[in-house]
């Protein structure tokens, strides 16, 4: 995946870039996860091996394997937690309270395990963001400095 954006802040081996939202963003079911700053752009932290500085237009890339792995973590862990919680909750309530309590136990177990899975997912995300090699990276500097103060069509 490749995106083009403007560097809004550069600090050492990391940079924060502003990326214009595309028309595809309007139809994406996970658009809220992009941490939107408005209707027209998103900001993201990226690795900066190219040494880009504020105001430069850059191309950012994410390796396909990393994108698949991240998707599995973000979606897979909560789904597995939900299903496992329903199974464990249903089993435990059936053993302790009888067959009639299996449904409420499954619902309770699913909710509890889903909550735990979301905490695990968030913890893994924060740990991954501390490692610069796991961030999307600037792969090309397209324009040395945007002529309009680094905005170049992106608010």
In a domain, 107, yes or no: yes
If one counts the domains in the chain, the total is 2
Does the pTM surpass 0.85? The reply is: no
Q: Could you tell me if 37 and 84 lie in one domain?
A: no
Q: How far is CA 28 from CA 21, 22, 39, 52, 115, in A?
A: 11, 10, 14, 29, 24
In a domain, 150, yes or no: no
The pair of three-digit structure tokens given for residue 32, joined into one six-digit string: 């809220």
In a domain, 103, yes or no: yes
* Strand-pair category, 14-20 with 41-47: antiparallel
Q: Could you tell me if 21 and 38 lie in one domain?
A: yes
- The predicted-structure confidence for 107-148, as pLDDT tens digits, reads as follows 999 999 999 999 999 998 888 777 777 788 888 888 765 554
- The predicted-structure confidence for 3-41, as pLDDT tens digits, reads as follows 888 889 888 888 888 887 766 666 665 555 555 555 677
| Residue from 81, 152, 141, 153 nearest 111 by CA | 81
Q: Alpha-carbon distance 82 to 60, whole Å?
A: 34
DSSP 114: H
Residue 86 near residue 114, CB atoms below 8 Å: no
Q: Which residues contact 115 (CB under 8 A, 6 or more apart)?
A: none
């Amino acid at each position: 995946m490749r995106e083009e954006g403007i560097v809004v802040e550069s600090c050492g081996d990391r940079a924060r870039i502003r990326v214009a939202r595309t028309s595809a963003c309007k139809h994406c079911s996970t658009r809220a996860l992009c941490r939107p700053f408005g209707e027209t752009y998103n900001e993201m932290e990226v690795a900066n091996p190219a040494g880009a500085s504020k105001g430069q237009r850059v191309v950012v890339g994410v390796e396909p394997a990393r994108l698949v792995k991240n998707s599995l973590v973000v979606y897979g862990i909560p789904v597995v937690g939900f299903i496992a919680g329903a199974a464990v909750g249903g089993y435990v309530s059936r053993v302790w309270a009888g067959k009639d309590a299996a449904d409420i136990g499954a619902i309770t177990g699913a909710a509890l395990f889903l909550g735990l899975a979301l905490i695990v997912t968030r913890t893994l995300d924060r740990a991954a963001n501390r490692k610069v090699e796991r961030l999307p990276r600037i792969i090309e500097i397209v324009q040395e400095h945007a002529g309009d103060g680094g905005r170049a069509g992106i608010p």
